[in-house]
Amino acid sequence: MNSFTEENYLKAIFKLLEKGEKAVSTTALSARMTTKAATVTDMIKRLAEKKLINYEKYQGVTLTEKGKAIAISIIRKHRLWEVFLVEKLHFKWDEVHEMAEQLEHVKSEELVNRIDAFLNFPKFDPHGDPIPDAKGVFNRKKSVLLAEINTGQNCIMTGVVDHSVNFLQYLDKVGLSIGKEIKLIEVVGFDKSIQVQLNGKEKVFLSHEVAKNLLVNKQ
Amino acid sequence: MNSFTEENYLKAIFKLLEKGEKAVSTTALSARMTTKAATVTDMIKRLAEKKLINYEKYQGVTLTEKGKAIAISIIRKHRLWEVFLVEKLHFKWDEVHEMAEQLEHVKSEELVNRIDAFLNFPKFDPHGDPIPDAKGVFNRKKSVLLAEINTGQNCIMTGVVDHSVNFLQYLDKVGLSIGKEIKLIEVVGFDKSIQVQLNGKEKVFLSHEVAKNLLVNKQ
DNA sequence: ACAAATATTTAGATTAGTCTAAATATTTAG
DNA sequence: CTAAATATTTAGACTAATCTAAATATTTGT
Ligand SMILES: [Mn+2]
Ligand SMILES: [Mn+2]
Ligand SMILES: [Mn+2]
Ligand SMILES: [Mn+2]
């Protein structure tokens, strides 16, 4: 059995690898885990010992098949619990992450599969992130950043890049949520801020910083 | 914040105190926790330091108000999660304890209160054990052992003393479950085994050992 | 290409939780 | 009431996860 700490390292490595790098550096991992590089070196030795990661001194790490499967199962649990908390217990999308951080470590394959069925096999979590199925297969979606859309284009909001409570609450305030129809009305040349129209109704101004953190699908 | 281990010690002390003793001995606690007495001595020093228990060398321990509140909150979470697992995810009563042992340590008062509401404020868990409310108040029930009932008496099954998977599965097999009507037909003088009638229908033989582990309310 | 900057590993400590073995205190029984 | 049995605590050690400081390796920039 793996400890919570080991599971969290595997998840962190998975997410860093997802970003494109071919191996995860000690420093990148220590930043993500908010620990010191020396601590990371100790831990990656342990994970390599357990054959959950591939590690060569000074060369960074990658996940073995076994390690990857564990990372995906943690992510699956995290996202399913978030759906449960929002859909069934009526928490808001900015309130669920910390609870899911704990719930993702509950050990029972059967439990997560029953939750999955109870929720009707959702494909995305409350933040628009894909939920891998029981076999670890992700529903790969081809969303783009709202910041990269052309004027006049109609889109559907599909997710967020920044998951912070602050950002999520701001989106609530301006009326942005997953599934909303967003039409790009205008891009201001000076600072790249934009004006959008939501569901063909209210018009809203968004900074470039915000637009860079919103994922959409073109209509 | 308290560790899982500390929470488990507090819960164990609570349950041992419930059994009637005025203080819990190091040995009793080490048996319950399946650790060594020396380990318990270390831990009770830590818990006393944190003012969660009252401890005097060689005199055993009791819970402070703070310690008692924590123990009750863990028990509340454990039992509510068990109800959730049985009622919503359709697990059987012999399958839920291990999952609840993990879920009881998830830290969020709000979460447990939402689960409580989601389940419609149940008063008892799937094994008939009372669930304390958000203020820590237990629904005290006055159940008696089936072994102490007189011939001819009609009762309702309200709980179990032994919570083992083996016992629970045996009860399923013979058709005994919480809420069932049990009429005591006959007590065999030789070995105190009994014959009972369930819901006015099937008759079943039960050993004295089984009867000593079933809780009922007289009708 | 090599010195300076940066990244990584090693060495040595610390804390929580556990153990075994030994010391000491309490309880029990003759 | 004391000796033997039992319970409890103390001492010393181990592992996982963390840290700081020092050593070493890699990368970068002139
Ligand atoms: Mn999350
Ligand atoms: Mn999420
Ligand atoms: Mn239980
Ligand atoms: Mn129970």
Taking alpha carbons only, the member of A211, A215, A162 closest to residue A185 is A211
The shortest C-alpha distance from A17 to chain B (Å) reads 29
**Chain centre to alpha carbon of residue B207:** 22
Ligand 1 centroid – CA A173 distance (Å): 20
**Chain centre to alpha carbon of residue A14:** 11
Residues of A in contact with B99 (CB under 8 A): 106, 108, 111
d(CA B142, CA B152): 20
For B89, which of A85, A103, A115 is closest by C-beta distance?
A115
Residues of B in contact with A111 (CB under 8 A): 85, 89, 99
* Confidence at residue B158, expressed as pLDDT on a 0 to 100 scale: 97
Which ligand has the nearest atom to the CA of B100? 3
Alpha carbon separation from B6 to B12, B24, B98 (Å, rounded): 10, 16, 18
* Confidence at residue B141, expressed as pLDDT on a 0 to 100 scale: 81
Q: What is the pLDDT of residues B87-139, one digit of tens each?
A: 999 999 999 999 999 999 999 999 999 999 999 999 999 999 999 999 999 98
The shortest C-alpha distance from A137 to chain B (Å) reads 23
Protein residue closest via CA to C1' of D24: A58
Protein-covered nucleotides of chain C (CB closer than 7 Å) are: 7-12, 16-22, 25-26
Residues of A in contact with B92 (CB under 8 A): none
The shortest C-alpha distance from B211 to chain A (Å) reads 33
Q: What is the pLDDT of residues A23-34, one digit of tens each?
A: 999 999 999 999
* Confidence at residue B47, expressed as pLDDT on a 0 to 100 scale: 97
d(CA A79, CA A81): 5
Residue B177 has pLDDT above 90, yes or no: yes
Dig out the tokens for A119 from the structure.
């929720």
Ligand 1 centroid – CA A79 distance (Å): 7
* Confidence at residue A177, expressed as pLDDT on a 0 to 100 scale: 97
**How confident is residue A219, by pLDDT bands cut at 50, 70 and 90?**
confident
Which ligand has the nearest atom to the CA of B127? 4
Residue B196 has pLDDT above 90, yes or no: yes
Dig out the tokens for A26 from the structure.
């000690």
- Is there a contact between B111 and A99 if contact means CB atoms under 8 Å apart? yes
Count other Cβ atoms within 10 Å, centred on residue B172.
13
Residue A100 has pLDDT above 90, yes or no: yes
| Nucleotide with smallest C1' distance to residue A28 CA | C7
Residues of A in contact with B105 (CB under 8 A): 102
* Confidence at residue B21, expressed as pLDDT on a 0 to 100 scale: 86
Spanning CA of A39 to C1' of C8, the rounded length in angstroms is 11
User: Can you state the percent helix, strand and coil of chain B, rounding each to 5?
Assistant: 40, 20, 40
d(CA A155, CA A199): 10
Q: What is the pLDDT of residues B34-85, one digit of tens each?
A: 999 999 999 999 999 999 999 999 999 999 999 999 999 999 999 999 999 9
Taking alpha carbons only, the member of B96, B106, B140 closest to residue B7 is B106
Residues of B in contact with A90 (CB under 8 A): 114
Protein residue closest via CA to C1' of C24: B58
Q: What is the pLDDT of residues A55-97, one digit of tens each?
A: 999 999 999 999 999 999 999 999 999 999 999 999 999 999 9
The pLDDT > 90 percentage for chain B reads: 94
Dig out the tokens for B132 from the structure.
């304390």
- Mean pLDDT, residues B157-176 taken together: 97
* Confidence at residue A119, expressed as pLDDT on a 0 to 100 scale: 98
- Is there a contact between A103 and B106 if contact means CB atoms under 8 Å apart? yes
Task: Pick from A77, A78, A87, A89 the residue to mutate for testing the B interface (most B CBs within 10 Å).
Answer: A89
- Mean pLDDT for all residues in chain B: 96
B143-B148-B154 Cα angle (round to 5)? 70
The pLDDT > 70 percentage for chain B reads: 100
d(CA B211, CA B219): 17
Dig out the tokens for A127 from the structure.
């933040």
Which chain A residues touch B if contact means CB-CB below 8 Å? 85, 88-91, 98-99, 102-103, 105-108, 111, 114-115, 118
* Confidence at residue B142, expressed as pLDDT on a 0 to 100 scale: 86
**How confident is residue B219, by pLDDT bands cut at 50, 70 and 90?**
confident
Report field, pTM of the whole predicted structure over 0.75: yes
Q: What is the pLDDT of residues A137-164, one digit of tens each?
A: 998 888 999 999 999 999 999 999 999 9
Count other Cβ atoms within 10 Å, centred on residue B211.
21
Chain B residue nearest residue A105, CA to CA: B102
* Confidence at residue B153, expressed as pLDDT on a 0 to 100 scale: 95
| Nucleotide with smallest C1' distance to residue A35 CA | D18
For B99, which of A85, A91, A106 is closest by C-beta distance?
A106
